[in-house]
Chain A
Amino acid sequence: MSIYTNPELMIEAKDLYRSFGAKDAVSGISFSVRRGEIFGLLGPNGAGKTTTIRMLTGQIDPSKGYASVAGYDVVKGRQRLKECIGVVFEDQNLYERLSARQNLEFSCQLYGLPARRADEVLEIVRLRDRAKDPIRTFSNGMRQRVMIARALLHNPDVLFLDEPSRGLDPLAAREVRQMIAQLSQQGMTILLTTHLMEEADQLCQRVAFIVNGKIVANDTPRNLKLSHGKRTLTVTLGSQNGASTLSERALNMDDPTDQAQLAQWVRLGMVRAVHSNEATLEEVFMEVAGVRLA
């Protein structure tokens, strides 16, 4: 039974808690993800990202609070919820002795899909030519693509990606990111967890910083950088007498002293070039969360 409060909200978490024994892994987080959005849960290892995904995908029950995905309560509507979600796990949990096609055909059978769907998704992740090879012969990047293919088999409404580029070389990670961007363009709602800020900055329309089981910030990457990061300029200066020696200075745009200094250099005709430097998401994270990413 669907319990949509707002059909545009594909994920809703309200005051969600989960504890393991005496330890609170997630402590009262609330957020929502709109249809077609890529939402990033960012935080260091052990922050509660994976626990949040497990609650949202019906793998574990929340200790307290409420969450719905694709309109289904993650506890009461678990069985229906499973039909609407795809999950790419942090661990590469494929059947290593089976071929890529056999792995996918197994999932096809679980979802009641025709076996030819396996070949269709293998085509999407560009592994059709390796369909018959056992997974154990695949590189990490190829395995990750098979995992994505498996999650896409049943055309889920919401895709959960837990550290999708973990352990991948830069080229493979780039391929995976391109694939995620394509899926988003096709209208799929994606929640991804990562501790790679650059990845989140490239992919996510909105991000939430999670630290010690709590969300400490939730906004678009740009807004977060504008509201929390230091805006700086790198100014390339020439000398007043027209000599060819150049020097570079960094100025804080929010500092009145630096603003006056820049104005003076402009009046004196010393400014050869100006580059604005936006704060990185990682710097913003460190400022907001007060911790470094692992």
Chain B
Amino acid sequence: MHIRSILAVARKDTLDILANKSTLFSLLSLIGVAVLFLFINSLLGTHTTEVLIYDPGNSGVEKVISTEFTNTHFTSAGSSGDVSAAFGPNGTHKSTPYALGIVVPANFVSSLRSGGHPQINLYVNGDQINNIDRQIVVQLLTGYARSIVNPQPATIALATINPTTTTVIGDLGGMYTAVAILMSFITGISIIPNLLIEEKEKKTLRMLMVSPATFTDVILGKLLVGLGFQLLLSLIIASILKGFNGNIPVLLLFIALGACFSLALGLLAGCIFQTMSAAGGFIGIMSILYVASSIFVGPLGVLLGGGLIAQVLRALPTYYIAQGAYEAVQNLSTPGSVLLDGGIVLGCTVVVLAAAVWALRRQAAVAATI
């Protein structure tokens, strides 16, 4: 293994991808799909967010909330009791026209500056605010307090009413993010076989085999490029769709696991298939499975039920990547679910990688004769 050769192959492949309009288009189209999802989500979510606020000190909370929720209507409450009365205690089921209720102490800013730990009471109506938006509000308030005094000095007391009733529309945002992240993994299963098969088809692999680079160097260089593009795209898409408002470490874990699984699968395809047309069929089928898996995760999966297709998809590792990513985005991950979903994906990655290594060893023996 030669680092110099690996980096040379990686650099050359990066330049080649950037010069390849069709590959570049397919990569950018995934970002386009993410933007489209964001647009659809914003259309579906275009409704006025009614906020009941008690802020006698006129802090900047209203301004901060209105920057994230564009259609926001604020109603000033006469007292903190009005707000708590409109919502009720945590976990209750109650009908209210308000989506959010906020109680900001009168001396909030001065208390912060004098080293105090004032508390903001935040009331969330689960009928109107989904998990992502709830996280966003908490982060906005925390961020605002930090902007006054750092480190985080304020306490956010959160109470959610109507917590079990979530609208499908609201949760589709999380599903879109999961679908888009899963779609980004198509990069791994398409780039690696494309790069490998093109070297075989154009017979440039022969040139590499008479250079100081070994077959292992060539493969590692391509994996490096695939991983780079894969991670970059997944992170961009997750950012566009506000995926990082959920459980960030778990989301990053599933992005990394998904990338590894996809690259292993791409490597296997690149070794098995000798022509782009043959590999194209495989990539197409895998892309469908990736997207289908992500659709059957979350609220749409519940609506579609547990039919044969759902059962088949649950037997695939792509389903567990989608589930892990979805739960991370929705901040629904538990240690048990992360361990189960992550374990299945990791196990499958090891199996696919072992198959790819076996295929590679055969390929290495004939690399120069291709």
Contact = CB atoms under 8 A, between A and B. Distances in A.
Whether chain B is bound by chain A comes out as yes
Interface of A: 54, 57-60, 79, 82-83, 85, 87, 89, 91, 93-98, 102, 106-107, 109-112, 134, 150
B368 A54 contact: yes
B369 interface: yes
Given A59-B209, A79-B212, A93 B12 contact: no
B217 to A, nearest CB: 9
Given A57-B210, A107-B211, A89 B11 contact: no
8 contacts: A91-B203, A93-B203, A97-B16, A97-B19, A109-B4, A109-B8, A109-B11, A110-B211
Interface of B: 4-5, 7-8, 11-12, 15-16, 19-20, 202-204, 206-213, 368-369
Contacts of A107: 211
Contacts of B213: 110
B351 to A, nearest CB: 32
Contacts of A95: 12, 16, 202, 204
A111 B212 contact: yes
A98 B210 contact: no
A58 B202 CA distance: 20
Nearest to B211: A110
B11, B12, B19, B211 — most chain A CB neighbours (10 Å): B211
Given A93-B203, A97-B19, A59 B11 contact: no
Given A98-B16, A107-B211, A110-B213, 15 more contacts: A59-B209, A59-B368, A60-B368, A79-B212, A82-B211, A87-B207, A89-B206, A89-B207, A93-B204, A93-B207, A94-B204, A97-B20, A106-B8, A109-B4, A110-B4
A106 B11 CA distance: 8
A228 B166 CA distance: 95
Contact of A110 (B5, B20, B202, B206): B5
Contacts of B8: 106, 109-110
A97 B8 CA distance: 16
Contacts of A87: 207, 210
A60 B369 contact: yes
Contacts of A111: 211-212
A57, A89, A95 — most chain B CB neighbours (10 Å): A95
Nearest to A59: B368
A93 B50 CA distance: 65
Contact of B7 (A57, A85, A109): A109
Contacts of B206: 59, 89, 91, 93
Given A106-B8, A109-B4, A112-B4, A85 B210 contact: yes
A161 B56 CA distance: 87
Contacts of B20: 97
Nearest to A82: B212
